[in-house]
């Protein structure tokens, strides 16, 4: 019998908004939280598995960047898109306090506060994409249009192949 997947705060928020999604559990490895491991576990193309990164801009304060698992944030492009002169990743030790999420389980949905959120433009290339459901071992499969609209996100070219 399949283990019942517990609803996360992110899933409850989507339910409340009437947005369709699927919760997809996967086996996570504490020592390998990389997006490639998640994609392999899901049997999905890494380009559809998006990672959620939190940065700080010199003008905007905290902001969120959601990029394909095989790409890196282009700091200059993100700074330009977000109206900052400079952006930098926040320290890992600050992630929980800022977002309410831990590394490997950071979702663009349901952070402690609403932050400006930027999705790499390739998100719109797919019918559905995968993002963290807010805990390690659980992804949300969702229409990128619904997700971007729900979090008030912006599509922009904010990543490049690492």
CA-based nearest residue to 65, from 31, 99, 34: 99
pLDDT of residue 2: 41
State residue 72's pLDDT score: 95
Query: DSSP assignment of 103-130, as one string?
Result: TT---SSS-SS---EEEEGGGGGSS-EE
Q: What DSSP state is assigned to residue 93?
A: G
Q: Is residue 5 very low, low, confident or very high in pLDDT (cuts 50, 70, 90)? A: low
The pLDDT value recorded for residue 162 is 67
Q: Is the pLDDT of residue 3 over 60?
A: no
What are the pLDDT digits (tens) for 17-54?
999 999 999 988 777 778 888 999 999 999 999 999 99
């Amino acid at each position: 019998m399949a283990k019942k997947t517990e609803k996360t705060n992110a899933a409850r928020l989507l339910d409340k908004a009437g947005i369709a999604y699927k919760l997809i559990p996967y086996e996570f490895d504490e020592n390998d939280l990389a997006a490639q491991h998640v994609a392999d576990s899901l049997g999905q193309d890494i380009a559809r598995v998006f990672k959620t990164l939190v940065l700080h801009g010199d003008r905007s304060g905290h902001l969120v960047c959601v990029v394909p698992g095989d790409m890196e944030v282009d700091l200059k492009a993100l700074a330009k898109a977000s109206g900052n002169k400079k952006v930098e990743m926040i320290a890992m030790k600050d992630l929980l306090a800022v977002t309410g999420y831990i590394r490997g389980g950071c979702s663009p949905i349901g952070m402690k506060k609403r932050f400006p959120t930027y999705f790499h433009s390739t998100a719109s290339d797919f019918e559905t994409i995968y993002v963290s459901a807010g805990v390690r071992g659980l992804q949300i499969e969702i229409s990128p249009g619904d997700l971007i609209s729900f979090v008030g996100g912006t599509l922009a070219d904010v990543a490049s192949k690492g």
